[in-house]
């Protein structure tokens, strides 16, 4: 008698194919919704910044709830200060810089076209930019300012909700983990939050010092819109390696329009500032931050930007901190069984583990 039912091997094969299809669809859905996930991650960073401000006030005797409110007000004040810088204080310089941007690009193209190698580099960069997702996102931001403002508002509101009661969201994540792994996962979350907080503090110091040094140096060199270019240089430090390099290009192009002396002064400014940053500022502010090899950071930032676009590029360094921390705290010890105690640790990790009240404050 002919049997039409599949045997066990066929059933196992079909089940595996279905599992692969479900996994593929899940990854596709995550990729399509990545911008939303990135905005959610931005809210997490904002909440960490607010909680850091709250801890500052709480250590000075302010009650916990009042400290959180003060942290939110401090975050709003910081946003208002940036808006004031862009619109009132440096608005005229920024507008002048934007109007001169086509001239700057033409100057850069003319300088690089003087040699065959320079012309090829400029053409390659232009073609890579034109076909990249980051370029499409930048074009979309230019034509969709309303969408950008809505995304910023979404991140700010999400930050307030997360900062007001982070323990509830952490508890919800822990419910998704098997009971025997919740303690390890909770420790990994705490370590990730601490590393992100320290990374944010280091980035704020780097951004401030670099913005001031570059702005003053370009002003002394006689470069127009020096304050706006200094602000751009400071903000660009949020994206390591890639950001400062991109921010340097318009400054050099604008300096080239003023003559070779101004261009030489701009080159000298960036060279001296980079030496100061590499040898003095960065080693000081990053000695407590999780150490990620520079080559891994550079290529990971490029890969994240190429795959996810502008929003992913903006948060790529912070995503690297999260990924490296979870790799060290979860994957290596729990999956591979590697002993990573004392490895990849910041210099003051022991002090932080013994004195960080972040988790206690949230409970």
pLDDT in tens, 286-328: 776 767 777 888 888 888 877 777 777 888 888 888 988 888 8
Residue 187 lies in a domain: yes
Residue 15 lies in a domain: no
Residue 252 lies in a domain: yes
pLDDT in tens, 256-271: 878 888 889 999 999 9
Residue 224 lies in a domain: yes
| Residue 238, φ and ψ in degrees, nearest 5 | -65, -25
Largest CA distance in the chain: 95
Going by pLDDT thresholds of 50, 70 and 90, the confidence category of residue 26 is confident
Going by pLDDT thresholds of 50, 70 and 90, the confidence category of residue 123 is low
Going by pLDDT thresholds of 50, 70 and 90, the confidence category of residue 152 is confident
Going by pLDDT thresholds of 50, 70 and 90, the confidence category of residue 109 is low
Question: With pLDDT > 90 as the criterion, what percentage of the chain qualifies?
Answer: 15
Which structural domain range is residue 56 located in? 34-362
Residue 50 has a pLDDT of 93
Residue 14 lies in a domain: no
SS (H, E, C) 247-259: HHHHHHHHHHCCC
**Mean pLDDT within 5-31:** 76
Residues 6+ apart with CB under 8 A from 224: 93, 96, 97, 100, 254, 258
Within 10 angstroms of residue 52's Cβ, the number of other Cβ atoms is: 20
DSSP states of 94-147: HHHHHHTHHHHHHHHHHHHTTSHHHHHHHHHHHHHHHTSHHHHHHHHHHH-HHH
Lowest mean pLDDT among 21-30, 161-170, 205-214: 21-30
Residue 1 lies in a domain: no
pLDDT in tens, 38-81: 889 999 999 999 999 999 888 888 898 899 999 999 999 988 88
Residue 349 has a pLDDT of 47
Please, what is the end-to-end C-alpha distance for the chain in angstroms? 68
Looking at mean pLDDT, say which of 3-12, 15-24, 213-222, 346-355 comes out highest. 213-222
Residue 127 has a pLDDT of 56
- What is the count of structural domains for the chain? 1
Residue 29 lies in a domain: no
Residue 28 lies in a domain: no
Lowest mean pLDDT among 9-13, 296-300, 337-341: 337-341
Please give the radius of gyration of the chain, using alpha carbons only, rounded to the nearest integer: 24
Lowest mean pLDDT among 54-68, 193-207, 338-352: 338-352
């Amino acid at each position: 008698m002919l049997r039409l039912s599949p045997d066990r091997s066929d059933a196992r094969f079909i089940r595996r194919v279905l599992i692969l299809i479900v996994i593929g669809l899940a990854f596709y859905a995550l990729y399509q919704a990545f911008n939303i996930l990135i905005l959610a991650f931005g809210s997490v960073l904002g909440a960490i910044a607010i909680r850091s401000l709250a801890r500052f006030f709480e250590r000075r005797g302010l009650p916990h709830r009042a400290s959180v409110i003060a942290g939110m007000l401090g975050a709003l004040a910081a946003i208002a200060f940036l808006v004031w810088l862009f619109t009132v204080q440096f608005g005229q310089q920024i507008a002048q810089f934007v109007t001169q941007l086509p001239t700057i690009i033409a100057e850069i193209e003319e300088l690089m076209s003087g040699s065959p190698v320079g012309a090829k580099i400029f053409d390659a960069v232009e073609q890579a930019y034109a076909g990249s997702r980051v370029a499409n996102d930048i074009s979309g931001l230019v034509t969709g300012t309303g969408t950008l403002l809505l995304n910023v508002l979404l991140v700010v509101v999400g930050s307030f909700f997360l900062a007001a009661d982070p323990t509830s969201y952490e508890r919800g994540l822990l419910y998704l983990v098997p009971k025997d792994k919740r303690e390890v996962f909770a420790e990994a979350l705490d370590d990730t939050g601490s590393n992100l907080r320290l990374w944010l503090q280091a980035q704020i110091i780097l951004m401030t010092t670099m913005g001031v040094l570059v702005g003053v140096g370009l002003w002394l060199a006689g470069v127009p819109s020096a304050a706006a270019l200094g602000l751009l240089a400071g903000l660009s430090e949020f994206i390591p390696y890639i950001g400062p390099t991109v921010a340097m290009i318009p400054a050099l192009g604008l300096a080239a329009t003023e003559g070779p002396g101004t261009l030489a002064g701009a080159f000298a400014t960036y060279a001296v500032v980079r030496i100061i940053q590499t040898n003095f500022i960065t080693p000081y502010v990053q000695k407590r931050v999780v150490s990620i090899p520079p080559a891994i950071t550079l290529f990971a930032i490029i890969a994240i930007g190429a795959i996810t676009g502008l929003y992913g590029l903006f948060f790529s360094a912070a995503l690297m901190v999260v990924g490296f921390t979870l790799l060290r705290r979860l994957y290596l010890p729990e999956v591979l069984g590697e002993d990573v105690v004392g490895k990849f640790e910041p210099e003051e990790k022991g002090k932080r583990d013994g004195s960080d009240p972040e988790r206690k404050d949230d409970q």
